[in-house]
Amino acid sequence: MKMGTATGTKRVVAHVCLVLTAGLTVAVCPAMAGVAQAEPVAVAPPLPFPLPPAPPYLDPGFYNPDPGKVAAAQPGEILAARQVNLANFFLIPLNVRAWQLSFRSTNTRGEPIAAVATVIVPHRPSLTPDRNLVAFQFAEDSLSINCAPSYVLQMGSLPNPTNPVISAEFIEVQAMLQLGHAVVVPDHQGPNAAYAAGPLGARITLDSIRAAENFDQAGLSGAATRTALWGYSGGAIPTAHAAELQPTYAPELNIAGSAVGGLLADLRMSLDYNNGTSTFGGAVLGGLFGVAREYPVLNQFIDQYMNPLGKAVRVVHEGQCVALQFAGFPFVNIKGLFNYPGGDPMTAPELQPLLDEMTLGRRGTPPFPLYIYEAPLDEAMPINAVNKLYDTYCKDPNAQVAYTREIISEHGIAAVSGAGSAVMWLNDRLNGVPAPQGCSNRDVPLQILDPGAFAAVVNALGQTLASALGMPV
């Protein structure tokens, strides 16, 4: 159900006032109750070109709705919806059907929170009787809500040279759309941009799937919708945690498989690996600050034990998008920014439950097939942690894990080289092709040399260029 012309006009006026005064709400919907979506929400129309979308911090009505309304909803219940126009690199229109959903999720303390996701449905028909869904988690890796994909993917959003990863990874989303699958893109860092807080991102990711399946305009089959998870680097963190949490947090979802690459499997090992020795040290430090936004125990620890230099570095990091997270403070001595009387701050007793919660493999093996790809020369993510995770999962006799190590690659190259193989593997799972039983691992020079992988990458690039000319996806 769409709003009428009068309501749409009100939304445009409200948006203009919002941009000027940050004082009005742009989308509303009635409160609902129940586990399933009680009734369809009103869907606000897209903003007329060339009116630009408001960044999240100027859009509180949608991104931070009334807490009472959020608390009254069930996880995954839609609070508001609006149609949006998407674009490659801010200005090149993408001919798809797309909406933003504001929905209820849950933080790591069990408290209700609002979250936002973008649902994208291609014009081309599904190749299966019912359309499948991919939950794609971007490597947002940022400490500002204005770096979130829901904003960056929109037509007319402000160009931000410090946030190029989302625009680049959007090609991978389009590869799945071109195969006929719908895609849901959660703002998995949540309302406080809690970068690297995997258990939080997992809950938001799973609730975004629930919201997409509840959204009538997406044309999905509810909880029966065959769904896959995909994320690389900062997007792999919530993806991998979602795979582990799904059996207990959202057991009704029909997950066909999960693909992750460039994976941070163990925060302790990553901090050791990047402490004063890595060009990506600043990104890992930014992740530590992001986790502190979700876990008060870490934030209190930083306030108490981080030295003045560390606190100054934190001020510089706050509010930065991914490029500055990675470029800022290479080779930083992370542990040297603390004056902890016990020596290594990561050995503090009060931090151990948090570090355990952030470590993958402790919740058991996900009950569906997994595809993991990693570069042993990855600058940020220690390969030993991923090897250990593979061994942990594969102790389960029912595990289905395909693990690829790309031996002459590094973090950025593996992201591109592994995309084609991940697309093919996910597409097979979504189309009902069974994954091989058991666990397997292999070492390859570059995954793009896998049969069909290069063609998959070239096709995605070609179709993206064609869409720039208005071709429907």
CB 295 within 8 A of CB 354: yes
The pLDDT assigned to 448 comes to: 95
CB 141 within 8 A of CB 326: yes
Q: Where does residue 209 rank: exposed (0-12), middle (13-18), buried (19+ CB within 10 A)?
A: buried
- Rounded percentage of the chain residues whose pLDDT exceeds 90: 78
Query: Above 70 in pLDDT, residue 404?
Result: yes
CB 221 within 8 A of CB 130: yes
The band of 383, judged by pLDDT with boundaries at 50, 70 and 90, is very high
CB 186 within 8 A of CB 231: no
Residues 298-322 have a mean pLDDT of 94
Greatest mean pLDDT among 22-26, 277-281, 304-308 lies in 304-308
The pLDDT assigned to 215 comes to: 97
The band of 11, judged by pLDDT with boundaries at 50, 70 and 90, is very low
* pLDDT digit string, tens, across residues 351-377: 999 999 999 999 999 999 999 999 999
Query: Above 60 in pLDDT, residue 2?
Result: no
* pLDDT digit string, tens, across residues 79-120: 999 999 999 988 888 999 999 999 999 999 999 999 999 999
206, 207, 209, 210: CA torsion to nearest 10: 130
Whole-prediction pTM: 0.91
- Length of the chain, in residues: 473
* pLDDT digit string, tens, across residues 337-352: 999 999 999 999 999 9
CB 457 within 8 A of CB 424: no
Q: How far apart are CA 202 and CA 188, in angstroms?
A: 7
Q: Which residue has the higher pLDDT, 317 or 251?
A: 251
What value does the mean pLDDT of the chain take?
90
The band of 219, judged by pLDDT with boundaries at 50, 70 and 90, is very high
* pLDDT digit string, tens, across residues 45-70: 999 877 899 999 999 999 999 999 99
Q: How far apart are CA 225 and CA 250, in angstroms?
A: 13
Query: Above 70 in pLDDT, residue 14?
Result: no
Q: How far apart are CA 346 and CA 331, in angstroms?
A: 18
The band of 473, judged by pLDDT with boundaries at 50, 70 and 90, is confident
Enter the tokens of residue 317.
């990091």
The pLDDT assigned to 7 comes to: 37
CB 350 within 8 A of CB 341: no
List C-alpha distances in Å: 292 to 111, 286, 289, 329: 17, 10, 5, 19
Print the SS3 string covering the chain.
Answer: CECCHHHHHHHHHHHHHHHHHCCCCCCCCCCCCCCCCCCCCCEECCCCCCCCCCCHHHCHHHHCCCHHHHHHCCCCCEEEEEECCEEECCCEECCCEEEEEEEEEECCCCCEEEEEEEEEECCCCCCCCCCCEEEEECCCCCCCHHHCHHHHCECCCCCCCCCHHHHHHHHHHHHHHHCCCEEEEECCCCCCCCCCCHHHHHHHHHHHHHHHHHCHHHCCCHHHCEEEEEEEHHHHHHHHHHHHHHHHHCCCCEEEEEEEECCCCCHHHHHHHHCCCCCCHHHHHHHHHHHHHHCHHHHHHHHHHECHHHHHHHHHHCCCCHHHHHHCCCCCCCHHHECCCCCCHHHCHHHHHHHHHCCCCCCCCCCCCEEEEECCCCCCCCHHHHHHHHHHHCCCCCCEEEEEEECCCCHHHHHHHCHHHHHHHHHHHHCCCCCCCEEEEEEECCHHHCCCHHHHHHHHHHHHHHHCCCCCC
* pLDDT digit string, tens, across residues 227-246: 999 999 999 999 999 999 99
CA 359, 363, 364, 370 dihedral sign is: negative
Q: How far apart are CA 258 and CA 134, in angstroms?
A: 10
Phi, psi of 442 (to 5 degrees): -150, 155
The band of 37, judged by pLDDT with boundaries at 50, 70 and 90, is low
